[in-house]
Structure 1
C-alpha cells in the first residue's frame, strides 16, 4: 500500500466506510482495528478499506473489471507458486518445494501443483482466444488432463451448452467425462446407518453399493418391518418352491458338509471366531454375516444353474 494506515491519519466517521473495519471500543470510533494484525490479514483489510473509500469515485466498469479479476485470481496464485518452484526461491529457508508448501503457505504439494496446472489451463484458453474462461480453480482443474486440442474442443462445447453464469464444475465434468463415466464420489453417513446398509446388503446377497443402486432404481423395496421386495418374483418363486432337482443338489451338498474331514462348518467357525475377535458390531450381525458367507459360497452355484 502506498500509504500506511494508522489511527493518527484516520479522521473518518464510521458511516463513510464499512463500520466493521473500525474498532467498536468506547471513544475509538475513528480507529481502524487492524493496526497490530499480522500479515497477510493486515494487507487484506487495508485493501478492503481503500476499495470502500475509493468506491464512490469509481465508475461501474472499473469495479466490474476488478470483480472479474478477483474471480480468476487463481491464475496469479498458480503463477506465484510456479515462480517459487521453478526458480527454487525456497532454497535458503526450506529443504524442498514440498516443505515450503506445507510450512509457508499451508498447502500439500499435490494441491499446489494442482493450482499451478489450473493456472496453466486458464492461460492456454486465453491464448486460444476465449473471452470466457473457468471462473475458479475447481472448474479449471477438471481440464488439466486434456490435450491442447481436446481442451479447446471441450471448452467450446461447454460454452455452446451453457450460458456463462450457468457454468459449474459439475456441468463441465459431465461434458468432459460423459454422464455414464463420471468419477465415483463418496457419501458420508452415520456409522450406524452404514452398518444397517451392510447388513441388509448381506441379507440380500449383494454389496452395499448394489443395494443402494437397486433401491434408487426401484428394483428393490425395503418395507417398514425390514423385509425386502424385488421385481425378480419369478426367481423368488423358484427359491420358495424349489424343484426336485434343486432339493437333490442341496441334499448332496449337506451330505458333503456333514462327512468331510474338514468341512465348511469348520471354516464357518473359524470365520466367526476371527470376526468376533476384530469386530465392533453386534454379535447377531457377526453370525449372520459369517453364515451367509459360507452358505452362499456352497449353494450359489447350484441355485444359479437351476435359475438360469
Structure 2
C-alpha cells in the first residue's frame, strides 16, 4: 500500500480521530498503523482515510447524503443477515444460523432476526412513499408487529407529532403502544432474581416485562432445565377434566417432590428467602405455594 504511505500533517489535537488515521505503526514508521490489522477494522479505517482525503474537495451535499446513508445503514445490515439466513450461506462452516450469528458476527440470533425485521419495516415505509423513515434500528424495531395499514397510520402520526430531529424510540413507543402502556411501575426484587429474569428474557428475545406478563397470563412456562415453553393447550380444560392417567402421574410427581430429602422447592425457597433477608420458614410458605402452582402448570402442559 505504498500509495498510503504519504504522511499528512493534521492541525489540531494529535489525538483526534482524523489525526489518528495518519499515525504510524509501532513497527514501521513508513506504514499507517491500520494497514496490517485484522478485518473488518482495516477496511473501515481505510474508508475513513480516503473519506478524509476526498472530503477536502467534496461538496456539502455529497457529505450530507453520505451521513444520511450511514444513519439508515441498518437496512443493508438486515438484508445481509437475511441473505445468510435465507440462502443458508452458513451451512459449510456453521451448524445453524444461530451458530453463525453467535460465533461469526457476535449477535444473539434473536437480535439478528430483529435487525432483519427492522430492515423490512424501513423498506415498507419507503415503498409507502415516506421520505423520512426510522433513523436507526431501535426506532424501526418498535414498528415490527404492525400490519401495513397500522404501520402507515402510526408512522404518519409520529411525523405529524414531532419534527424529524425530535423523533426518538421512546416517543415512537408512546404513539405505537399508547401512553398508558408506556408507564412503568416498580417491583422490588433481589438483584440476583432481577438479573436472572433479564437474562432469561434476553435469551428468548423479549423484554423482562414481556416475560413476566406472559408467565402470569399462562402463555409460557419455564421448565426445571431453564427452557421456556409456550403453552399450546387449554390448561383450564385439563385441570377441570383431567384423565385418570394424568391424575395418577400428578400423584407420583407430588409424592416424589414431597419426600425428597431436600427438594427443589426447599432450595428455591431458601435461596430467595436469603436474598431478601426474610424469615426462612414464613417466606418458604409463600414461595412453595407459588412454586407448586408453577409446577402444576408445567406438568399440565407436558403431561407424561
TM-score by length of 1: 0.59
What is the aligned partner in structure 1 of residue 274 from structure 2? 280
Aligned residues of 2:26 and 2:33 also touching (Cα < 8 A): no
1:93–1:189 Cα change, 3 Å = same
Aligned residues of 1:134 and 1:140 also touching (Cα < 8 A): yes
**1:29 to partner: Cα distance:** 6.1
Aligned residues of 2:78 and 2:119 also touching (Cα < 8 A): yes
Q: CA separation in 2, counterparts of 1:108 and 1:185?
A: 28
Gaps of at least 5 residues in structure 1 are: 195-271, 294-308
Q: CA separation in 2, counterparts of 1:87 and 1:292?
A: 53
- Other structure's SS at 2:133 match: coil
**1:9 to partner: Cα distance:** 4.2
- Other structure's SS at 1:15 match: coil
Q: CA separation in 1, counterparts of 2:79 and 2:62?
A: 24
1:146-165 alignment runs, 5 A limit: 146-165=146-165
1:11 pairs with 2:6: yes
- Other structure's SS at 1:32 match: coil
Aligned residues of 1:13 and 1:29 also touching (Cα < 8 A): no
What is the aligned partner in structure 2 of residue 60 from structure 1? 60
**1:102 to partner: Cα distance:** 1.1
TM-score by length of 2: 0.60
Residues 144-173 of structure 1: CA deviation (Å, up to 9, x unaligned): 000000000000000000000000000000
Gaps of at least 5 residues in structure 2 are: 12-16, 195-265, 287-304
Q: CA separation in 2, counterparts of 1:175 and 1:69?
A: 26
1:91 pairs with 2:91: yes
Over alpha carbons, which structure has the higher Rg?
Answer: 1
Q: CA separation in 2, counterparts of 1:277 and 1:139?
A: 39
- Runs of at least 4 residues off by over 4 Å: 24-30, 183-192, 274-278, 287-293
